[in-house]
Structure formats: C-alpha cells, structure tokens
Amino acid sequence: MDCLSASSPIERVVVMKGAQVGATEAGNNWIGYVVHHAPGPMLGVLPTVEMAKRNSRQRIDPLVEESTVLRERIAPSRARDSGNTVLAKEFRGGVLVMTGANSAVGLRSMPVRYLFLDEVDGYPGDVDGEGDPIALAEARTRTFARRKILVISTPTIAGLSRIEREYGLSDQRRFFVPCPRCEAMQWLKFERLRWQKAKPDTAAYHCEDCEREIAEHHKARMLAAGEWRPTATGPADPRTAGFHLSSLYSPLGWRSWAEIAAAWEMAQGSDAALKSFRNTELGETWTESGDAPDWQRLYERREEFSVGTVPAGGLFLTAGADVQKDRIEVSIWAWGRGLTSWLVDHIVVDGGPESAAAWAALSALLGQTWPHAGGACLGLAKLGIDTGYEAPAVYAWSRRAGYAQVAPVKGVDGFHRAAPVVGPSYVDLTEGGKKLRRGARLWTVAVATFKSETYRFLRLVRATDEEIANGAADPPGYVHLPRGTEAEWLRQFTAEQLVSVKTRRGFQRLEWQKIRERNEVLDCRVYARAAAWIVGADRWGQARWRDLESQLATENVRLIEADPMDRTDPQPASAGRVRAGLRQGRRVFRSTYLS
C-alpha cells in the first residue's frame, strides 16, 4: 500500500498470494485512497463482467457507504444523475470504472492513471480476438507519466501463470519475521511447519536457524516485527515491486497453522486437492508432470494378484468406457484409501455404437461382479462413458441403463483450478421424434488434470517389504498392476505426454499429445477416475472409508449408494434381474491385453 501511494517512485505493484491474506482488501483501500487523496481516472478489472458487478455490490458499495469522506465524494446511486452505477463511480477529479477481462470493449474504453488487475490468473488468454487482456488494459495507462498499476492473483500452473511471470520480473520481496527464540530473520516456508501424523492440532513452526519450535501464539509479535526484503537474484525492473505472501502469515483468528496442516493431510491422494492447496494456501504455482512414465519399468513392477480379482485394499469399483467405431473398450479399477488403485480388468466389447449387441453386452457388464480377496463380490459403483463419438447413441443407452450407475462424460481441454469434474448438465434428447423431459445428464471432465494425476501416481515408489513389515503403507495414489498386464496395455497407458505449445496469437498453453498411435487405455482410466470423483471418493472423510471397510467385511456385495436424484424415472425393467445377478460372481467377458 505504501508503494501505491502518490509519493512512491514504484509504478507497478505485483502481489502473488495465498488465500485470506488481505491483498484484495488492500486494493480496495487503494481505491478509497485515490478517491480521497489522489483523484484520477481508474480502471478495475476482474476475470468476468459478472464478477465485477458482484464485487461492486458486495465490496465497493459498502466501502463507500461506511466511509464518511467517500460518501462526500461519491453521490448515492439513488440520486438522479449521480454518476454512481454498478460499474462506474464518478467523483470529483476522476472516475472508477469496473469491467471484466472477458470484455475487450471494457478494457479499451478510456485512458486511466490507475489500473487495478485482480485475480489475473483467471483472465482468458485472448479476449474477443484482440489479444491479452493485461496488455489491452495496460495500454490505457501509457499517456500518464505517473501511472500506478496493481496486479494481484492467486497463482495457478507453473509456466502458464500470469502472476508468476509478473512476480518473476519484480524484486521478489518476501516478508521476513524474527524467531521469538533466537531473533533470526526468515520468511515462512511450509516445509518448516511440522506436526505429528494425523494430528494437525500439534502443528508448530520450526526456526530454520535454531530449529526450536515456534507456537502459533507467537505469530502476532512476529508479524508486528516483520519487514519486506527483496530476494531477486537476477536483474529486476526498478519500477516494479513484487510481494509474495502465503496463508502461513494469516493473523490469529484467520487461518491457523493447524488448519493448514489439516488441509494438507486432506489433500493427499488427489491432484486437484494438492493443486488447490499449493495455489490457495502457499501462493505457489502447481507444476504439471508431463513426461510419460517408462512402460517397461511398469511392466517389471507388476504384482502377484490375478486379473479379474480385487485385492484386499480395494473398497469399490468404477469403470471407464471409450466408444470407438467398431468396439467399446472398458477398464475396471478398484479404489481404496488415498485413491490408491488396482487394475482389475480391461474388456473390449466387439461392435460399435450402431450395434445393439454391443450395448446389450455393456448393459450386462453393469450386472457383473468381481471377487474380492476377502470373499465378497463387488459390482460397479459407477461407469463413466465417453460421449465424444456418436453422442446420441451413448446418451440413449445411458438413459436406459440408469444414471444411478452410468455417468456420460465429455472431456474438455485445459486444467481446471476449481473442480476437475463439473455437472451434471442436461442435454436435449429425443426418442421416437419426441423430446424427452430433462434429457440426458452430462458430466464435463478436465481430462488434462486426471492424466497429470495418473502419471504422477505412476511415478510413486512403493514401500519396501521391510517397511511394510514395520507397518508402513503404500503412498496415497499408488497404482497397482496385476501380473497378467501385457506390454500393449502398458504402451497405451503411457501413450501421451504434456507439451507446451504456442497458440496462433503467441500465448503458451499446455496440452496432452500422443506419442503412440493407440491411447484408449489411458482414456478409459481417466473416465474411471472421473467416475470415482462423481461417486464422491475425493471428498470422503475417514469415517466413510471405515464404513466401507466394515460393510465389505460383512456383505457379499458392496455397491456405493447413489444419490436418489441420479436415478432415471422409470427404472430399467431389467434392474431387478441385474441386482439378482450381482451375487453370482460370474465373470463372463474376455479380458484384452490382460492374461
């Protein structure tokens, strides 16, 4: 905020941050400062116009209404010709205009001295075909010799993050605080926060100099005695000041170290959760792993359990189906705690979407069970089926089969910071020329996110026999492959790699590209993983996992109960026959690529 004052020579202020550290509130304070002390034209940009409207109503209007000096300078919106609208606030000597980065018209509407760019990592790469929204907005400030630009965001993906790039061009300041024991100055790092396993309430910070424990109640005194220090090792723009702040600095009563430790433990096993933790808690970018694992190494590490069986750790099953012109390929995966997974089966159903026999075979697969090591038989909790080829036929079959057990999915490019699966949304569907009420239910899947997660899981190192004997478990997310897994299946499983490509307008983006011709196995894994997400496995607590384990020990069949709203009305006529067949434990399909 000092750098944003009229007396500071700094022109650009960059803030790369975690959540709940007050950066956006500092930007709002700057708006008040401009109106009160240094009037001039000002532009505030959020990712979308709708977000700008919401921010105006929820943050800017209360700021004006509850500040006497601002009320004197900005007329009430109810007054006639007040110049106070949702997206524009006129005041003596200037105006505040708010817009979204998705509106090229809003970004080039007027020249401005002050520019506030909030959550820039949420901006589109190219707005209305006119280029980068940050460049468009900054062009509005060129005619002012003493301009001020504030750029704020939580970061996203390394190499693509705008705020990471902006921070890298700055002097990269960190907030150094003194150790209450030895007074050594240091900036807070997550790896110095330590706690007993499964006991986040024991979290305490450890000084990097004296290694002594620092309790949370010392934080207030540490923050009061802290100071910003530049850390850039290379050349930096002297007119740009960069600040980085994680949630570790959140004041007492905001975000505690215990809560951060608990969030880390909850995130284990899920790439989406780990990405969110790194972005929002630590204010750091997430690195996507793009190199394909070595299929020969995976071949050598296969384990001694049989194809078509579920090992002891598997607690429920999902399947992923990839529809091709002449066949439907299906992978069945078992899932356990921490999203550890076991390949159970891979099946190829002859005949494409035009074959009634192929759909009948897929329907029969919904009623099949696989024997569990504990003696029970498991059926499919959910099957995710791709709608990318002959979508109408997939929708029609999914509706007949029932959405309680079937989830039509559509893969989309890019990495989603929020949820990797979104939905369901309703798709128009007709039958016999008549439009069906509410149509088909479609889930949208960020396939790039689940491919990155899968490859990261494949790189995990399993616990040694000695470690297992001492009570150690496999790392969360570890992928177990049966001894019968053949080389061709593994080649398809590792058939893509993540590469950075330039768009037509010169922007960088990450995309998955095939390094082998066939990749159906990897696609099936992604859809099965999406099915596990839809079932809710990413959000279950320990009580839910214990409940599954206890029920599996006492029941012959375990199906994850679906939301009643997921059921198709009416239920398929064959539902009773399918459920009756669950307890027979028959394996009627021939596996492909697995022996």
pLDDT on residue 560 = 53
Structure letter (DSSP) for residue 464 = P
Confidence tier at 435 by pLDDT (50, 70, 90): low
Taking only Cα atoms into account, the Rg of the chain, rounded to an integer number of angstroms, comes to 28
DSSP 328-379: EEEEEEEE-GGG-EEEEEEEEEES-TT-HHHHHHHHHHHT--EEBTTS-EE-
DSSP assignment of 475-495 equals PTTPEE-BTTB-HHHHHHHT-
pLDDT digits (tens, 9 = 90+) for 154-188: 998 877 788 998 998 899 999 999 999 999 999 99
Nearest to 369 by CA among 541, 579, 206, 517: 579
Contact 37, 66 (CB under 8 A): no
d(Cα 264, Cα 251) in Å, to the nearest integer? 19
Q: How confident is the model at residue 432 (pLDDT cuts 50, 70, 90)?
A: low
pLDDT top residue among 389 and 433 = 389
Exposed (0-12), middle (13-18) or buried (19+): which is 173, by Cβ within 10 Å? buried
- Band the pLDDT of 586: cuts 50, 70, 90: very low
Tell how many helices (H) and how many strands (E) occur in the chain. Answer: 19, 28
How far apart CA 531 and CA 359 sit, in angstroms, is 19
- pLDDT score of 80 more than 70: no
Residues 160, 509 contacting (CB under 8 angstroms):
yes
Q: Assess contact for 113 and 146: CB atoms under 8 A.
A: yes
Q: Is the peptide bond preceding residue 572 cis, with omega within 30 degrees of 0?
A: no
Supply the pLDDT for residue 288: 66
What confidence score (pLDDT) does residue 433 get? Answer: 55
Which stretches of 186-294 are DSSP H helices? 219-224, 257-267, 271-276
In this predicted structure, what is the pLDDT of residue 538?
A: 87
**Its pTM surpasses 0.85:** no
Q: What span, in angstroms and rounded, lies between the C-alpha atoms of 534 and 7? A: 54
Residue 244 forms beta bridges with which residues? 16, 174
Torsion angle (degrees, nearest 10) of CA 390, 392, 394, 398: 180
Task: Please tell me the total number of residues recorded for the chain in this structure.
Answer: 595
> pLDDT tens digits for 327-351?
999 999 999 988 999 999 999 999 8
Cis peptide before 570, with omega less than 30 degrees from 0? Answer: yes
Quick one: 1-172+232-245 is in which CATH superfamily?
Answer: P-loop containing nucleotide triphosphate hydrolases (3.40.50.300)
Which tens digits make up the pLDDT trace of 187-239? 999 999 999 988 999 999 999 999 999 999 999 999 999 999 999 887 778 89
What phi and psi values does residue 240 have, to the nearest 5 degrees? Answer: -115, 125
Q: Please give the backbone phi and psi of residue 318, each rounded to the nearest 5 degrees, phi first.
A: -130, 165
Query: Over 60: is that where the pLDDT of 445 sits?
Result: yes
Q: Which residue from 129, 138, 118 is spatially nearest to 48, judged by alpha carbons?
A: 118
pLDDT for 296-316, tens place per residue?
A: 889 989 998 889 899 988 999
Q: Chain-wide mean pLDDT for the chain?
A: 84
Report d(CA 152, CA 27) in Å as an integer.
9
Phi-psi region of 453 (alpha: psi -120 to 50; beta: other; left: phi over 0): alpha
> Coil, strand or helix: which one is 82?
coil
**What's the pLDDT at 580?**
24
More confident residue, 222 or 561: 222
From the list 591, 558, 551, the residue with the least C-alpha distance to 377 is: 558
3-state DSSP: the chain helix, strand, coil percent, rounded to 5? 35, 25, 40
Q: Are 156 and 286 contacting, i.e. CB atoms less than 8 angstroms apart?
A: yes
How wide is the angle at C-alpha 475 spanned by C-alphas 337 and 266, nearest 5°? 55
- For residues 552 and 534, what is the distance between their CA atoms, to the nearest angstrom? 21
Could you tell me if 321 and 328 are in contact, meaning their C-beta atoms sit under 8 angstroms apart?
yes
User: Of 413-427, 551-565, 580-594, where does mean pLDDT reach its minimum?
Assistant: 580-594
DSSP codes, 387-430: -SSSHHHHHHHHHHH-TTTEEEEEEESS--SS-SEEEEEEE--E
Cα distance from N-terminal residue to C-terminal residue, the chain = 66
Q: Give CA–CA dist 500/369, Å, rounded.
A: 42
Q: Please say if the pLDDT value at position 576 is more than 80.
A: no
Q: Which residues of the chain are in CATH 3.40.50.300 domains?
A: 1-172+232-245
Q: Is the distance from CB of 523 to CB of 330 less than 8 angstroms?
A: no
Burial label, 42 (beta-carbon count in 10 A; 0-12, 13-18, 19+): buried
Angle at 301 between CA 300 and CA 307, to 5 degrees: 100
Q: Which two tokens stand for residue 174?
A: 């960190």
On whether the CB atoms of residues 345 and 284 are closer than 8 A, the answer is: no
* Residue 328 C-alpha from the chain's centroid: 29
